[in-house]
Structure 1
């Protein structure tokens, strides 16, 4: 009987082993088949430096933000050349720029989003993670050699760390820059400064002194009248004051390195010092109170007609201002320029990220037979040197020439004032250098489309400024993220309201401590506890 039981057990073990082997083989076959099912059109060998060309043609749906400055055209050379070079026909879903964020959310929520979703800024993808609607792209970076190469070469790992969600993955392919590059700063009437021997200010305090002189000389002029509802100026000024504000206020949290914790930005002494400075400008009639409420066109008109001498802007707006001022003041009757961002009490500092707006990929892409080809295509177009040059400059011999590494627009093509005699526009007539495809890349590529004046501004900023380090990430859980939104939104709204009141003088700065107490009454401590608990867990997981 014992021998019979042993024989039965042996047969049973043998049977189980056979079943497991068959199951394993079946599982491998299934996995291999699943892998093969997603490789249609993909290049078998694809690495850094390779030009992507699908082995079989396919169509790729993509969300396209339509810019009114260069509205979408079906017959752009851009689309034609992408198909010719890559065997990929892009099928754009056109969404106006004004509705892009809302429409993108609706399409993703309804399950109708195209497979490729560009023009997404870091942080905007978080809202779509919990639904599983977008791909955890960090799982597939090994299939994107150009992206991976630039991250390693430019040591962008720390920046990418800030994109990771609570599950340790990131869901956005950001645009990658080799270096931080600032754009927004103050544009000033340099001819007025030169006429009265007023030095171009290097600090905010020097700016104050310069404006006082201007006010004495031109009592009917308010020296500084701003646009962007003052958000850009607050953003660039805050860095020099050691804080955050305006466009850069974000979630309202600032990392305090000495205390190794996050604090609420608007409760700090640095924030109060910044408010005190701008309140002084308003009180003394140096800063136009309408800067916080007026339309951009109103601020521009004041500047281009000589009713103000200082305005915030970037490399593109300075060109637009010159075009207007040629008409309003006469070509030889003014000079304007971007100045290096003034330094503040915290020093000559520069904030900024090397990560740009980027691409989300719909989770549905994983089910596509062309999945790997899609990843290769995105990798080539957005992250290879060749793809980035193509998206920016267009087609060599047609829109530009290249001699000894120097690119130049052909005689009849203009872009942003680089070749003003050109009757055709690189963006409007050809579709290149648009915001959906052309961002990121080497500093050389970035500066190749800048005027000499703008290159000098970039060089001066790089020479005179210290870039502040990135803050630690706060990878909130899905549940916590909902709480963060519920807590941070009213706190920010109340901060914005009182920021204006303090600057306008409608609320005395002696009440700053009372303002902090009011924030505490709106759940500030709960918000800080949530942030610092998340930070603590993140540190422990490292």
Structure 2
């Protein structure tokens, strides 16, 4: 797996120390001993003394920690999960989640943070989520405190590429405000999946490119009579996220504010105004027009997608290993064991090659700024450090309690196996209980990253081989270089980017579903221009140039 777009990242890493030195008021380097906030300067009620890498966190006094929790329909929150019970009984920590349905997540997150009502921390935060809230001071600049988190610091020091990618999270004040999940290696979470049984029945080989996928869908349409050979999970947000790179663009969950770095010109462009975005939209609009892509695909919920796959109306969709398991279990219930099976499809080659945007980071958490004033702040930091960034915490979050929910064994490739009465992903299918639904482990709110042996332990042999194959085949485009903004510029950028993104989403949906002809692309571009896209991009590029100049001056 080759990493691309490293030139500016390398420059940034070489010089970032100088910038951060300048960011510190007295000229000391950020994070240096004379600048660090010490344990004595924060509330330490319940904290452990001499907390180090490898230590199990147990609060010395009962610790309550609140969180804004994104609830998933696949395993709805249960407050009596063993996950919570074990933390309370064995670690002296009581977690108090405020549950937010997945469908309301983005709006509730924005309202809660903006109103100053966020609990101690929030789950499911991707880099960029925090940006609108930084100017208000509502979010904790966690970079000021990570030296008090030994496991997090250890992973930054010892896992290749991780420290570099964390540096990309810094804002113009030299601080970062998100603790992302850290992975020891790059893992491809999302891809297409296909009904391999049906493909074999019709003599269709696994596609290697988007063009070959179209040919396969045409065969399925002609042979089965369906006009929805392909449907989508998550309304296309995953599809355009992992597929965008092969068209040389960004989309879906990866769209963020629409700014995309162009290495050739060494500046940022607004992705929807580039040829790559049109190529991507035109491709999927063409599938819909020709009766190959389900016209409801970009608006339906997960249950509608699942039903079409199980009822053999659709044979290709987007997803991850969790949705793969979900669909295969549903197919088995509906048609019998072994009758039909979905498999992962390789990341397809497009006009930009067989590439994907990726990193060692994933969704993570952000903290309420007020938490720093709590008398148990240090204990909360230590707990989050242990749960999310220690090997022991990663094992607990993913698998639970040894002998109660899982066992370690050499009989499976990953070395971990749920107990016989518990199913997890594709293991122990048909068991009475589920590790996620009934126990709360393997929950993406808490088990979102970790060391390679833990991440790989949940893979069956097929998934392990697929990940290995992708690591050999794929080129990975690393995250874009940063362009931290001043508070005033950030506020202006947010005001400009929000209506622009709304316009992009509306046109993209209407083009793909056929409500708008692609003849109206010029109208789309004009609307973006009328909404001051040039001003927005000038803010981005001016901030980028200023930041690069600061780096060069500090060299």
TM-score by length of 1: 0.86
Correspondence 1:17-416 to 2 at 5 A? 35=40, 38-154=43-159, 155-403=161-409, 406-416=415-425
CA distance 1:518–1:111, change in 2 (3 Å): closer
Task: State the partner residue of 1:434.
Answer: 443
C-alpha distance in 2, partners of 1:384/1:259?
A: 41
Q: Does structure 2 conserve the Cα–Cα contact (< 8 Å) formed by 1:305 and 1:329?
A: no
Distance 2:261 2:39 in 1: 45
Q: Name the CA shift for 1:193/1:46 in 2 (closer, same or farther; >3 Å).
A: same
Q: Offset of 1:296 from its aligned partner?
A: 3.7
CA shift at 1:520, angstroms?
1.9
* Structure 2 alignment gaps of length 5 or more: 1-35
In structure 2, the residue matched to 1:465 is 474
Q: Cα–Cα, structure 1 residues 515 and 332, in superposed 2: closer, same or farther, change >3 Å?
A: same
The C-alpha deviation readout for 1:29-71, integer Å capped at 9, x for no partner, is xx99992672333222122112222334433334444444434
More helix by share: 1
Q: Which residue of 2 aligns with 1:474?
A: 483
**Conserved 8 A contact 2:422-2:431:** yes
Return the offset for 1:340: 1.0
Contact 2:190 2:242 in 1 (8 A): yes
Does 483-492 or 71-80 show the bigger shift?
A: 71-80
Distance of aligned partners of 1:454 and 1:287 in 2 relative to their CA distance in 1, 3 Å threshold: same
Q: CA deviation at 1:411?
A: 1.8
1-side partners of 2:98 and 2:192: how far apart?
A: 37
1:443 Cα offset (Å): 1.9
Measured after TM superposition, the shift of residue 538 of structure 1 is 1.3
- After superposing on structure 2, the runs of 4+ consecutive aligned residues of structure 1 that deviate more than 6 Å are 31-34
Deviations 1:5-37 (A, max 9, x none): xxxxxxxxxxxxxxxxxxxxxxxxxx9999267
Query: Displacement of 1:146 after TM fit?
Result: 0.6
Instruction: Give the deviation of 1:166 after TM superposition.
Output: 1.9
**What 5-or-longer segments of structure 1 have no aligned partner?**
1-30
CA RMSD of aligned residues (A): 2.7
User: Quick check: 2:238–2:252 contact (8 Å CA) kept in 1?
Assistant: yes
Q: Which deviates more from structure 2 when the two are superposed, residues 98-107 or residues 311-320?
A: 98-107
Secondary structure at 2:130 match in 1: helix
Q: What's the secondary structure of 2:507's corresponding residue?
A: helix
Please, which moves more after superposition, 469-478 or 268-277?
A: 268-277
Q: Is the 8 A contact 1:147 1:379 kept in 2?
A: yes
> Which residue matches 1:9?
none
How far apart, CA to CA, are the structure 1 residues paired with 2:110 and 2:501? 22
User: What is the alpha-carbon distance in structure 1 between the residues aligned to residue 70 and residue 234 of structure 2?
Assistant: 21
2:428 aligned with 1:423: no
CA contact (8 A) 2:56 2:392 kept: yes
- The CA deviation at 1:259 is 0.6
2:329–2:429 CA contact under 8 A, matched in 1: no
Larger Rg: 1
| Residue 387 of structure 1, CA deviation | 0.9
Cα distance change on mapping 1:244 and 1:92 into 2, 3 Å: closer
CA distance, structure 2, for counterparts of residue 32 and residue 536 of structure 1: 31
Q: Deviations over 1:281-312 (max 9, x none)?
A: 23333223332334443333232222222222
Give the secondary-structure state (helix, strand or coil) at the position aligned to 1:179: coil
CA shift for structure 1 position 121 = 2.5
Distance 1:414 1:214, change over 3 A: closer
1:369 CA displacement: 2.5
Scaled by the length of structure 2, the TM-score of the pair is 0.85
Task: Say yes or no: does 1:494 pair with 2:503.
Answer: yes
Give secondary structure in 2 for the equivalent of 1:289.
coil
Structure 1 residues 425 and 302, CA gap change in structure 2 (3 angstroms): closer
Distance of 1:470 and 1:341 partners within structure 2? 18
Q: 1:72 to 1:140 in 2, by over 3 A?
A: same
Separation (CA, whole Å) in 2 of partners of 1:393 and 1:493: 40
Within 2, Cα distance between the matches of 1:302 and 1:32? 55
3-state SS of paired residue (2:470): helix
Cα distance, 1:511 vs structure 2: 5.4
CA displacement 1:46-98 (0-9 Å, x = unmatched): 22112222334433334444444434444333233223433333344444444
Q: 2:537 aligns with which of 528, 532, 538?
A: 528
Instruction: Assess, with a 3 A threshold, how the Cα gap between structure 1 residues 422 and 250 changes in structure 2: closer, same or farther.
Output: same
CA distance change for structure 1 residues 517 and 76 in 2, over 3 Å: closer, same or farther? Answer: closer
Q: In the TM superposition, what is the alpha-carbon distance from 1:220 to its structure 2 partner?
A: 4.6
Describe the superposition over 1:462-496 as per-residue Cα deviations: whole angstroms up to 9, x where unpaired: 12111112111122222222222222222223333
Indicate the SS of the match to 1:429. Answer: coil
